């Protein structure tokens, strides 16, 4: 990945600080922390909020959506551990920042976003970083992306009232999925694992607040943004 000409020295220090903030959340894996040094987050958020791009905080990205907090994304990566020969499905491309982090760890990333403009903006940022192992789709991610199933890892970045069955179907044997499940205002993060015919669910974190997953097998559009 060539970031040289894109690198803006103003941001290097902020990025190191962000990595310290992520470490403060108990994430010590060096390889994982280095990923955050390789993806310039400011390229994934609107220019108006560049001064805040390296805060360990959710950021507004327009269309009533938010980019998730980096330390939470680091936690996702810690739990899911995508390997370099694995296929990942992401539901809710949003800014594309997590998409980029996933693209640096997995073989291929398939990412679905319902807001066309966000998908297009994410594509531009991913192209700037020459991340070519990412396929983006505009559509309803609650039905997954059957054409490329099964997936070793599924990451859902928006909150659902329940686990969409198509996503469990599209999980490979040995696959893992993270999805926030619960009410519109508060959810638990659930880790789903598939081993043969056995599917297990484990709550790994409580008290999360994600934007709603809007679609056929989640909240209907009038429920949220
Ligand atoms: N990881 C992203 C999170 C973005 S917020 C980031 O850090 O930027 C979640 C995203 O899910 C929003 O962009 C929202 O538009 C999208 N979304 C909501 N429901 C969806 C659905 N059914 N299919 C695909 N994307 C959806």
- Whole-model pTM: value is 0.95
* 214 inside domain: no
Per-residue pLDDT tens digits for 18-42: 999 999 999 999 999 999 999 999 9
Q: What is the pLDDT of residue 6?
A: 61
CATH number at residue 24: 3.40.50.150
Q: How confident is the model over 47-74, as a mean pLDDT?
A: 95
Q: Which residue ranges have their beta carbon within 6 Å of ligand 1? A: 65-68, 91-92, 94-95, 97-98, 112-115, 118, 140-142, 157-158, 211, 213-215, 218
* 32 inside domain: yes
Q: Whose CA is nearest to atom 13 of ligand 1?
A: 94
Residue 136, domain extent:
10-208
* 5 inside domain: no
Ligand 1: nearest atom to the Cα of 115: 15
* 37 inside domain: yes
* 88 inside domain: yes
Alpha-carbon torsion 197, 81, 84, 14, what sign? positive
Going across the sheet that includes 171-182, the strands are 134-138, 108-113, 87-91, 151-156, 171-182, 187-195, 198-208
* 34 inside domain: yes
Q: What is the pLDDT of residue 13?
A: 87
pLDDT tier at 12 (50, 70, 90 boundaries)? confident
Provide the domain count of the chain.
1
Q: What is the pLDDT of residue 217?
A: 95
* 95 inside domain: yes
Q: What is the pLDDT of residue 183?
A: 97
Most informative mutation of 42, 44, 74, 93 for ligand 1 (most atoms within 8 A of CB): 93
Q: Whose CA is nearest to atom 19 of ligand 1?
A: 213
* 72 inside domain: yes
Q: What is the pLDDT of residue 129?
A: 96
């Amino acid at each position: 990945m060539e970031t040289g000409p894109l690198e803006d020295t103003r941001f290097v220090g902020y990025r190191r600080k962000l990595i310290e903030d992520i470490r403060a959340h108990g994430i010590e894996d060096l390889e994982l922390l280095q990923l955050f040094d390789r993806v310039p987050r400011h390229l994934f958020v609107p220019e108006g909020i560049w001064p805040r791009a390296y805060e360990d905080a959710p950021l507004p990205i327009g269309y009533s959506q938010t980019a998730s907090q980096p330390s939470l994304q680091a936690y996702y990566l810690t739990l899911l551990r995508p390997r370099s020969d694995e296929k990942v499905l992401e539901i809710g491309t949003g800014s594309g920042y997590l998409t980029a982090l996933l693209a640096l760890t997995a073989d291929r990333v398939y990412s679905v976003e319902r807001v066309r403009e966000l998908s297009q903006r994410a594509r531009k940022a991913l192209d700037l970083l020459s991340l070519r192992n990412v396929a983006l789709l505009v559509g309803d991610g609650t039905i997954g992306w059957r054409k490329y199933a099964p997936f070793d890892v599924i990451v859902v970045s928006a909150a659902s009232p329940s686990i969409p069955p198509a996503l469990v179907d599209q999980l490979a044997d040995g696959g893992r999925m993270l999805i926030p499940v619960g009410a519109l205002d508060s959810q638990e993060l659930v880790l789903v694992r598939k081993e043969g015919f056995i599917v297990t669910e484990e709550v790994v974190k409580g008290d999360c607040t994600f934007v709603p997953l809007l679609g056929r097998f989640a909240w209907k559009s009038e429920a949220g943004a």
